[in-house]
Amino acid sequence: MDIGFIGLGHMGQAMARNLLKSGFKVTGWDRTRSHAEALREYGAMVADTQAGACTGEVVITMLADDRAVEDVVLGSGRMIRALRENAIHVSMSTITVALSEELTQAHRTAGQHFVAAPVFGRPEAAAAAQLYVVAAGEAEPVDRCQPLFDAMGQKTFVLGASPPGANLVKLGGNFLIASVIECLGEAIALMRKADVPAPRFLEILTESLFSAPVYKTYGRLIVEEKYQPAGFRMPLALKDIRSVLAAAEAEAVPMPVASLIHDHFLTQVARGNDDLDWSALALLAAENAGLEPPAFKATPSAASGSEHS
């Protein structure tokens, strides 16, 4: 199967490599040419234009936000024109429900298929082909993509025929991750000020009722105050919560904790903490409790982050 891959940042790069490892033929494209070139040594071809990455049976997009996806599909690059009939666009980024609806319609009109297949997992999980994939779309194209998902992830959840559902599940999941970060941040700040050792508190949690990856992964980052380099940068976290709230508004569902977390992400962005990992919600909780900031705040390093949760 010939696959185009558009968007080769931290996440996309790792995912495309796993496709290559599994024997798929991949043609990459990225706005930043060097990102695409980096894939060449793993056996990929590099397209000179976006359209050049849209000639195969499937094209995957893994981009930063709605605007980037909209531009690639409907804008200047015009995937919608370049893609052949019956070909599949697999959108694996975290996009809004509204854009997913628009793309579903646009590809259908063009005689193409749209599959939403957002993923859970940070860059390390992407590199290890340990992502969780939530896929939705018509049954036939989703089936055709299953081998690709197998190459990139540890498990695929097929949700149903309507692509926006998968995007909503992903957004709901990201809200829940953010809520774990926020709440662990508040609880750990309390433990610290009361002289209960934070690592021991976390251990008790994760060896009893909270024995899930999300508590282990984020709990460790918070306890170690390891907010750099960012696995998932603040502005992207803010964008995701904004997308959750947009979906909630469209359905008339008040989500007060989501609103609160939104304001905390916005605070971090307003304060210039763009380069911190989203787990630094907990840093805000600690600062608001008057705890000393971790060392890196004194000597800011040149952090560079990536795009996934």
C-alpha to C-alpha distance for 141 and 157, rounded to whole angstroms: 15
Q: Three-state SS for 36?
A: helix
Q: Alpha-carbon torsion 29, 35, 39, 40, what sign?
A: positive
Spell out, one character per residue from 180 to 219, where the chain touches a second copy: x when CB under 8 A holds, - when not.
--xxx-xx-xxx-xxxxx--xx-xxx-xxxxxxxxx----
C-alpha to C-alpha distance for 279 and 285, rounded to whole angstroms: 11
282 touches 182 (CB < 8 A): yes
Q: Three-state SS for 30?
A: coil
Q: Of 3, 20, 151, 258, which one interacts with a second copy (CB under 8 A)?
A: 258
User: Is 170 noted as a catalytic residue in this protein?
Assistant: yes
Spell out, one character per residue from 20 to 49, where the chain touches a second copy: x when CB under 8 A holds, - when not.
------------------------------
Q: Of 172, 220, 226, 296, which one interacts with a second copy (CB under 8 A)?
A: 172
Minimum CB separation of residue 194 from a second copy in Å reads 5
Q: Provide the 8-state DSSP code for 93.
A: S
Q: Which stretch binds a second copy (CB under 8 A): 17-25, 79-87, 105-113, 284-292?
A: 284-292
Q: Of 73, 177, 222, 234, which one interacts with a second copy (CB under 8 A)?
A: 177
Q: Of 3, 255, 276, 283, which one interacts with a second copy (CB under 8 A)?
A: 255
Active-site residue among 21, 170, 239, 297?
A: 170
Residue the block writes with tokens 């798929």: 24
How much is the CA Rg of the chain, to the nearest whole Å? 20
Q: Which stretch binds a second copy (CB under 8 A): 78-86, 105-113, 223-231, 262-270?
A: 262-270
Minimum CB separation of residue 208 from a second copy in Å reads 4
Nearest to 142 by CA among 170, 174, 125, 165: 165
C-alpha to C-alpha distance for 140 and 182, rounded to whole angstroms: 40
Considering only residues 107 through 136, tell me which ones interact with a second copy, judged by CB under 8 A.
120, 132, 134
Annotated catalytic residues are 170
